[in-house]
Amino acid sequence: MARGTLFRSWARGAALAAVGVACAPWPALAQDAAKVGVVSHLKVLSDKVEDVSSPEAWKKSCVRDGMSDQEKVLAIWRTVVKYRHQTSPPNEWIQDNVHDVFKTIHVYGYGMCCCASSHVETLARDKRDGYDVAVSYDGGKQFRPVLKLGGPTAGETRYFTISEVPPGTRAAQLRLQGRTYNTTMLFGLRIDADYKQPHGGFRPVKITYLWEENGAPKRHEHVAARPEETYTIRCGPKTVVKGFAVDLAK
């Protein structure tokens, strides 16, 4: 019983001490906070592990001049297995799982098979890897440059549009021409062709947006008479979108 009494007394004293610290005068705290400097973008290194703060730093720390291809591959493999463990991968809802090796090293530290494969490919690639994209509208006789898909870009998704199509074009050829310096590959390729309808047209549409501002319902309607038409909706504080609808204008 005596021990219980002492314990309760000690706990009560600790709680009172904590309240006393938290209730320090606000002006004094604000004044002290104003004197504190902000330091960011620190780079902390250790003599116990390699510098893997960037691709250049990793290469300088782990890949030495005179290494054979086998030794370079082993250095890549050791980096991948050292800074991650195998479990369900993180998902940022941008391009499925996280395949950025340095984000895995510094942020997450875990992933699955596809992640590990992408990490190996990232570290093995050369910045000279890539593809030159060109398009032809005359059956492959002449190709016009479009852009370069450069490396090293493991796990990257690129979307581009070729809009300058000569009038009357009925066929097009797309060419991806590249050279492998280290590890150049494509995991997926999709090409879509948008055809202009010879007898198609545009009808005006009514666009309706519904939202709330500070709990009050708001509504905005706009009739677009042209497909390239733009407009602006200005919202107030604490805006919550509730829905939108697109209908043919009457």
Beta pairing partners, 244 = 209
* pLDDT for position 233: 93
DSSP-assigned states of every residue in 93-149:
SSSSB---HHHIIIII-EE-HHHHHHHHHHHH--TT-EEEEEEESSTTS--EEEEEE
Contact 172, 193 (CB under 8 A): yes
Residues in the chain predicted with pLDDT less than 70, given as ranges, are 1-36, 95, 126-127, 151-157, 180-185, 187
End-to-end CA distance of the chain: 85
Q: What is the dihedral of CA 61, 64, 69, 73, to 10 degrees?
A: -20
* pLDDT for position 155: 58
